[in-house]
Amino acid sequence: MYRTKFFDHVILLSGVFLMVGPLLVALMTSSHEAADIHRNGLSILPGGHFIETYETVLTKEGGFTGKITGLRMMMNSLILGLGFAAGKVLLSMLAAYALVYFRFRFATITFWMIFTTLLLPLEVRILPSYEVMNTLHLTNTYTGLIVPLLASATGTFYFRQFFKSIPDELLEAARIDGAGPFKFFIDVIVPLSKTMMAAIFIIMFVYGWNQYLWPTLMTTEEGFFTLVRGIKQILLVWVGSNIPDYNQAFALAILAMLPPVMIVMIFQRWFIKGLTESDK
Amino acid sequence: MTHAPLSSPTPAAPFPSGAGGLFRRFKARPSEDTSAKRVQFNSPLLPYLFLAPQMAIIFIFFYWPSVQAIQSSFYLEDPFGFGSSFVGLANYTDVLKSNEYLGIARFTAVFTALVTFFSLSIGLLLAVKADGVIRGNAAYKTLLIWVYAIAPPVAGLMGMMMFDQHIGPLVKFAGLFGWEMKVGLNYNDTAFAMIVVSVWKQIPYNFIFFLSGLQGIPVSVREAAIMDCRSGLRRFWTVILPLLAPTAFFLLIINTTYALFDTFGVIDVIVKDKAANNPITLVYKVYMDGFRGNDLGGSSAQSVILMIIVFVLTIFQFRFIERRVHYN
Query: Mean pLDDT, to the nearest integer, of A114-128?
Result: 80
**CB contact (8 A) between residue B160 and residue A41:** no
Pinpoint the alpha helices (H) of chain B: 18-27, 46-58, 64-72, 90-97, 99-132, 137-145, 152-162, 169-176, 187-215, 219-228, 232-235, 241-257, 264-271, 282-287, 296-324
Q: Among A65-74, A150-159, B259-268, B296-305, which stretch is predicted with the lowest mean pLDDT?
A: A65-74
What's the pLDDT tens digit per position in B229-243? 777 778 888 888 888
> Which of A99, A113, A114, A127 is most worth mutating to test chain B (most B CB atoms within 10 A of its CB)?
A127
B65 assigned to some structural domain: no
* Residue A205, pLDDT score: 92
Number of domains in chain B: 1
Residue B78 binned pLDDT confidence (cut-offs 50, 70, 90): low
B31 assigned to some structural domain: no
What residue numbers bound the domain in which B216 lies?
92-324
Which chain B residues touch A175 with a CB distance below 8 Å? 39
| Percent residues over pLDDT 90 in chain B | 13
Q: Residue B19 pLDDT > 80, yes or no?
A: no
Q: Among A126-140, B26-40, B202-216, which stretch is predicted with the lowest mean pLDDT?
A: B26-40
CATH number, domain A72-278 = 1.10.3720.10
Q: Is A103 on the interface with B (CB under 8 A)?
A: yes
* Residue A137, pLDDT score: 87
List the single residue in A104, A148, A228 with the smallest CB-CB distance to B154: A228
Q: Residue B1 pLDDT > 50, yes or no?
A: no
More confident residue, B208 or B41: B208
* Residue A278, pLDDT score: 55
Query: Considering chain A, what is the average pLDDT of its residues?
Result: 82
CB-based burial of residue A196 (10 Å sphere; 0-12 exposed, 13-18 middle, 19+ buried)?
Answer: buried
B72 assigned to some structural domain: no
Q: Residue B259 pLDDT > 80, yes or no?
A: yes
Closest to B187 measured CA to CA, from B289, B270, B102: B270
Q: CA dist A213 to A5, A129, A222, Å?
A: 44, 12, 15
Residue B20 binned pLDDT confidence (cut-offs 50, 70, 90): very low
Looking at residue B154, which CATH number applies to its domain? Answer: 1.10.3720.10
Q: Residue B282 pLDDT > 90, yes or no?
A: no
* Residue B81, pLDDT score: 62
Could you give the 3-state DSSP secondary structure of residue A263? helix
ipTM field: 0.85
B229 assigned to some structural domain: yes
What's the pLDDT tens digit per position in A222-279? 888 888 888 877 777 666 666 667 777 888 888 888 899 888 888 888 777 777 765 4
Query: Mean pLDDT, to the nearest integer, of B267-280?
Result: 79
Q: What residues have CB less than 8 Å from A231, skipping those under 6 apart?
A: A212, A252, A253, A256, B151, B153, B154, B156, B157, B269
Which chain A residues touch B143 with a CB distance below 8 Å? 16, 19-20
B8 assigned to some structural domain: no
* Residue B10, pLDDT score: 32
* Residue A1, pLDDT score: 47
B199 assigned to some structural domain: yes
* Residue A82, pLDDT score: 94
What's the pLDDT tens digit per position in A182-237? 888 888 889 988 888 888 888 899 999 999 988 988 888 888 888 888 887 777 76
The residues facing B84 across adjacent strands are B77
Give the residue from chain A lying closest to B290, CA to CA.
A127
* Residue A80, pLDDT score: 93
* Residue B26, pLDDT score: 40
If you ran DSSP here, which 8-state letter would residue B229 be given?
A: -
